[in-house]
Amino acid sequence: MAKAPVAKNQEFTVTIEDLSYEGMGVAKLDHYPLFVEGALPGETVVIRVVKAEKKYAFARLIQVVTPSPDRVTPKAQAYAQTGIAPLQHLAYPAQLKFKQHQIEMLYHKAQLAIPVRPTLGMTTPYGYRNKAQIPVRAIAGVVTTGFYKRRSHELIPLTDFYIQDPKIDAAVLVVRDLLRQYNVPAYDEATNSGVIRHIMVRRGYYSHQMMIVLVSRTWVVPHQAELVAGIKAALPEVTSIMLNLNERATNVILGPKTRTLDGNDYLEDQLLGSTFRISPLSFYQVNPTQTEVLYTAAVRAAGLTGREVVIDAYSGIGTISLTMAEHAKQVYGVEVVPEAVRDAKANARLNGVTNAEFLVGRAEDVMQTWKDQGLHADVLMVDPPRKGLAPEFIAAVGVMLPPKLVYVSCNPATLARDIAALQAFGYRATATQPVDMFPQTTSIESVTALTLG
């Protein structure tokens, strides 16, 4: 077995050639890659090897000898330690180019000749998240909120999360202080004991309505009435206080059961002029201003004229479907989560939309049924999770063969894989439009239109 050409604790002076998809600097010693957190392309740096594998190594940045012109001063080391803002040391215009470049490289690897347009970014690339899920733990016996150190379960105390709505950060501190005041035990994951596991906060960007969800190991929360009263007194924007039960020893944040303690069991907010009701477990894009940019790009890619029939294959609570309905003849949404379909139907009624229907089921199954019933779709809209399209779904597309497919992607690796598979049915992509939904992070969203023939 070949040995690694470097060993732990060795130091080298290297030049950074590129950024990995995780935002780590990449240097090479005789074609052997070293991944360096915090280093940027073009920089000469001193590094120390921390882990050496046969085909690659990880190294710690010791000194920047020659800095990149794109290097900026990070806001706080804790943001890098927790992974909240892994690109905070990279100037924002360079972040946008990095995301465009990542898609280009994946297309090149997959032998896809698809132009990638410049990434659409934000004017203010921080304070954008409308949702937070903050762990609650005891440190030295004191209830503490913060975020986990990367690749660990060590909690780093934080009061400012930089990329979240500052009103949400303030609300987390209010709840934390109430938990301290009433001595409500924090969750202990080592023993699966204690009470409060997480504080989840959602805030409407336009409505300013706020939802507080206490994620608890038990339905019995000490001083529950006092906590609710304290939250309402300190946070007048709160319209919903809920208790979510998660009894299991698991890394999954939310459990399946939720009770309303005060107010509504949903939050309302607006998106491109439509109003949406969002329940605690509903998926809703976390960057409201860039979601409008993303969905506008999707509508443009669909080329809707008002005469088309659209299928939205991952319709969720109806955000894309109802946006499309304004520009299409008819929209059919399909979603595997029954609660999301219930919310989508309610959102259609709420907005007076009569040309959108929603069904529960796996998209590949429902699409086959529609095909058998003679339903013809002009546009197929897909917005899958990070794992991309299932092979069964791609096979269903090959049966239905809609003339146009619009792919909203949150993972360029699975996007490239899926486009290559769709090409077998005669689909061709004209261009991909990246949209920066998650500034300061390595996450990449994009919109790609594919046409048949």
Tokens for 17, please give them. 């050639």
Q: How many CB atoms lie within 10 A of CB 348?
A: 22
Pairing of strands 267-271, 274-278: antiparallel
Q: Is residue 76 part of a domain?
A: no
Task: Please give the pLDDT value at position 3.
Answer: 81
Task: Please give the pLDDT value at position 2.
Answer: 65
Helices 224-234 and 166-181, axial angle in degrees (round to 10): 140
Encode pLDDT of 97-117 as tens digits: 999 999 999 999 999 999 999
Q: Is residue 266 part of a domain?
A: yes
Average pLDDT over the chain reads 95
pLDDT value at 221 more than 80: yes
DSSP state of 425: G
Encode pLDDT of 60-71 as tens digits: 999 999 999 999
Q: How many structural domains is the chain composed of?
A: 3
The per-residue DSSP string of 89-155 comes to TB-HHHHHHHHHHHHHHHHHHTT----BPPPB--SS-SS-BSEEEEEEEEETTEEEEEEEPTTS-PE
pTM summary value = 0.94
Same domain, 139 and 240: yes
Same domain, 347 and 399: yes
Q: What is the CATH number of the domain that holds 57?
A: 2.40.50.140
Same domain, 296 and 428: yes
Q: What is the CATH number of the domain that holds 262?
A: 2.40.50.1070
Using only C-alpha atoms, what is the Rg of the chain? 24
Longest pairwise C-alpha distance within the chain: 67
Determine contact, residues 309/333, Cβ cutoff 8 Å.
no
Same domain, 295 and 444: yes
Same domain, 116 and 142: no
List residues bridging with 372 in a β-sheet.
Answer: none
Same domain, 330 and 355: yes
Task: Please give the pLDDT value at position 368.
Answer: 85
Q: What percent of the chain has pLDDT over 70?
A: 100
pLDDT value at 306 more than 60: yes
Calculate mean pLDDT across residues 299-321. 96
pLDDT value at 1 more than 70: no
Is the sign of the CA dihedral 282, 288, 292, 298 positive or negative?
negative
Residue that finishes a domain, picked among 241, 271, 301? 271
Q: Is residue 279 part of a domain?
A: no
Same domain, 406 and 292: yes
Same domain, 348 and 414: yes
Encode pLDDT of 140-198 as tens digits: 999 999 999 988 889 999 999 999 999 999 999 999 999 999 999 999 999 999 999 99
Q: Is residue 203 part of a domain?
A: yes
Determine contact, residues 313/334, Cβ cutoff 8 Å.
yes
Same domain, 266 and 300: no
| DSSP-derived 3-state class of residue 414 | helix
Give catalytic residue positions. 410
Same domain, 49 and 174: no
Encode pLDDT of 430-440 as tens digits: 999 999 999 99
Q: How many CB atoms lie within 10 A of CB 205?
A: 16
**Which residues span the domain enclosing 390?**
107-122+287-452
Task: Please give the pLDDT value at position 405.
Answer: 98
Calculate mean pLDDT across residues 106-135. 97
- CA pair distance 239, 265, nearest whole angstrom: 9
Q: Work out the pLDDT band at 379, boundaries 50, 70, 90.
A: very high
Task: Please give the pLDDT value at position 4.
Answer: 86
Q: How many CB atoms lie within 10 A of CB 110?
A: 15
Q: How many CB atoms lie within 10 A of CB 280?
A: 20
Same domain, 299 and 448: yes
Q: Is residue 35 part of a domain?
A: yes
Four-CA torsion 206, 211, 215, 221, nearest 10 degrees: 160
Same domain, 206 and 291: no
Calculate mean pLDDT across residues 14-34. 95
